[in-house]
A and B are shown apart, each in its own frame.
Chain A
Amino acid sequence: MPVILFLCLISTAAHAGLTIVGKGDNMRFDPSAFPPAMKASYEIMKVRCIKCHTLERTVVAITTGIAPISGQPFDRKATRAYGIKMLRKPDSNMNKQEVKTVVELMNFLLDQAAR
């Protein structure tokens, strides 16, 4: 019983194949169960994306399927569009390879969330 209670206290939000840790601005994915390639991609996402916004925005978009600001569906078409948007954003400092990597990661995360 104490173990269950303890687990409840430290529980994280789980969305099918995804584990989310933290709340609010600190919300992020737990990459421990990601394949190695996606873990590497997540390292890029962690560094690049938080330059302008918290990972909460990405977590919300992936897990709800709705982009938080525009209210539009967040699907594979949207991940590509957002990738292009970030590529063109002057301060993102992302090159095409990095954008491609992060788009693939977001598609992977969408698939995991849908499981």
Chain B
Amino acid sequence: MQFAFFRRKCMQNGVVAVMALLIAVALPLAHAQNALAIPAFSRQYRTECSTCHTLYPELNEYGQVFLKNGYVYANKHAGEKGGEAPVPSGKPGQGQTQTASDEQVAGLMLSGIPKWIPLSLTLNQSANYSDPAPNGDHWGFTTRDLVLEGGGVISDVVGFYATYDLYRHDSSISQGGPSSLHELFLIWRRFFGTPVNIKVGKFEPKLSLWKKSDKIIVTSFATSSFQEGNSPFSLETAQDAVEANAVVANRIFMATGVVDRHGLPGVDAYGHLSVKFGGVDFLGNEPEVDFEKESIWDYLAMTLAVYGYNGRNIDPFGSGISNSFYRIGGEFDILYKRARVKFSCVSGEDSNPYYIFPETAGNPLVFASEAEYYFGSPVKVVGLFRYEYQNDGTALVRRFIPALAYIPLENIKVAFSYIHEVQPLDINRQLLLDVSLSF
């Protein structure tokens, strides 16, 4: 009894201590005016986070271009020099650029070795309040992770990217989660002079418009994260795959690939097609704008996408029973000045997602939409509201998620979100505070 009281007291004190610590960290940063973030790409290209992100890690139009072009800035072709800040040394147009330490690094450049070790770290710490909660344990602030990221491009020919969970602890699982490699892949850019990029390794197959990390709050879109029955498949799961992708006619992006099935014959196959209207094209070319006249197309950008995945997997609990499935999805992303709307819808079929006899098929239908507004400086805050509808054929779950995210510096983010989840027999409420730092 005394122990329980002592433990409860410690927990209460712990909540106060953590909240005080978070406020103590956030407040001094609230008045910071300007800062350059320095994760791997930022370091390599000597540019600020806002070049590619709205509020990191959500990508803006230029970040999408950078991603689609194998981590090289727009319109660059393999072999062209760039990505190193030149120092003034001659007249414009003469290409007389030289980096500050050209002579010292000439050997490195010839070898394709980056001048900086292309690594960065991201730390995330969450605190949450859940209602209802098992055993009345409403508070949780043990969810945290430390991620090592590597990324860059060698001589504009080969891009690479890796994320490794140095430490991950989710309060919903056991103490001290396993370390794991999330992504590790190489991209051969402009394969033999064609517009095609070849990607090989462990990565998220290109299905959705947005990568798992491409969001403002920690919670993934239901369309990307949902799993049917006991099937481990979700759109955002990193898989061992080979993918070919290309930008065609500047505004069309295509990707197709195959995924290793691990223990089953054959391979999974997938494809993605997206088209962009208005805004920067997929190669980074700006739209035509008349400085004398206003037009809605000066600021409007719309991206539409469709994708499909056909696969088969095996019971993760070892019964040997397999499940054949497919997914078809459609999405759009609309940007107008500071406002952004995302919509995602996915449907499909699983032949036996619970791996049981007799076979019981599943027909999931999930959609999610999110409206964001970026308030901008001097207070760099994004307000958003997300609605999700998830029907796996046996139960309907709806989520209403309002959130606010704030970046006191470009590489530090504080996000508050509330998840109101309506289940058939219950309503779950969760309040989340996430703090992340990347450097």
Asked if A60 and B86 make an inter-chain contact with CB atoms under 8 angstroms apart, the answer reads yes
B300 CB to nearest chain A CB (Å): 10
A73 CB to nearest chain B CB (Å): 7
Asked if B50 and A114 make an inter-chain contact with CB atoms under 8 angstroms apart, the answer reads no
A7 CB to nearest chain B CB (Å): 20
Contact of A85 among B81, B90, B95, B286 (CB under 8 A): B286
> With the chains together, A84 CA to B278 CA distance in Å?
13
Contact of B88 among A64, A71, A93, A96 (CB under 8 A): A64
Whether, in the assembled complex, A44 has its beta carbon less than 8 Å from a beta carbon of chain B, the answer is no
A12 CB to nearest chain B CB (Å): 11
> With the chains together, A68 CA to B48 CA distance in Å?
13
Most chain A CB within 10 A, of B54, B74, B286, B377, is at B286
| Per-residue interface assignment for chain B, residues 141 to 185, with 1 indicating a CB less than 8 Å from any chain A CB and 0 otherwise | 000000000000000000000000000000000000000000000
Asked if A64 and B92 make an inter-chain contact with CB atoms under 8 angstroms apart, the answer reads yes
> With the chains together, A65 CA to B95 CA distance in Å?
6
Whether, in the assembled complex, A40 has its beta carbon less than 8 Å from a beta carbon of chain B, the answer is no
Chain A, interface size: which category?
35 or more
A53: which B residues are within 8 A, CB to CB? 47-48
Q: How many A-B residue pairs have CB under 8 A?
A: 119
Asked if A88 and B299 make an inter-chain contact with CB atoms under 8 angstroms apart, the answer reads yes
Q: Which residue of B lies closest to A96 (CB)?
A: B291
> With the chains together, A57 CA to B51 CA distance in Å?
13
> With the chains together, A68 CA to B97 CA distance in Å?
9
Whether, in the assembled complex, A36 has its beta carbon less than 8 Å from a beta carbon of chain B, the answer is no
Asked if A60 and B93 make an inter-chain contact with CB atoms under 8 angstroms apart, the answer reads no
Asked if B91 and A69 make an inter-chain contact with CB atoms under 8 angstroms apart, the answer reads no
Asked if A15 and B88 make an inter-chain contact with CB atoms under 8 angstroms apart, the answer reads yes
B321 CB to nearest chain A CB (Å): 50
Asked if B54 and A90 make an inter-chain contact with CB atoms under 8 angstroms apart, the answer reads yes
Asked if A69 and B76 make an inter-chain contact with CB atoms under 8 angstroms apart, the answer reads no
Whether, in the assembled complex, B385 has its beta carbon less than 8 Å from a beta carbon of chain A, the answer is no
A19 CB to nearest chain B CB (Å): 12
Residues 50 to 109 of chain A near chain B (Cβ within 8 Å): 50-53, 57, 59-60, 62-66, 68-75, 81, 83-85, 87-88, 90-91, 93, 96-97, 99-100, 103
> With the chains together, A62 CA to B374 CA distance in Å?
31
Contact of B93 among A65, A99, A100 (CB under 8 A): A65
Interface residues of A (CB under 8 A from B): 13, 15-16, 20, 50-53, 57, 59-60, 62-66, 68-75, 81, 83-85, 87-88, 90-91, 93, 96-97, 99-100, 103, 110, 113-114
Per CB-CB distance, the 10 closest pairs between chain A and chain B, nearest first, are A71-B82, A65-B92, A63-B88, A70-B73, A84-B286, A100-B291, A68-B85, A65-B93, A91-B376, A90-B338
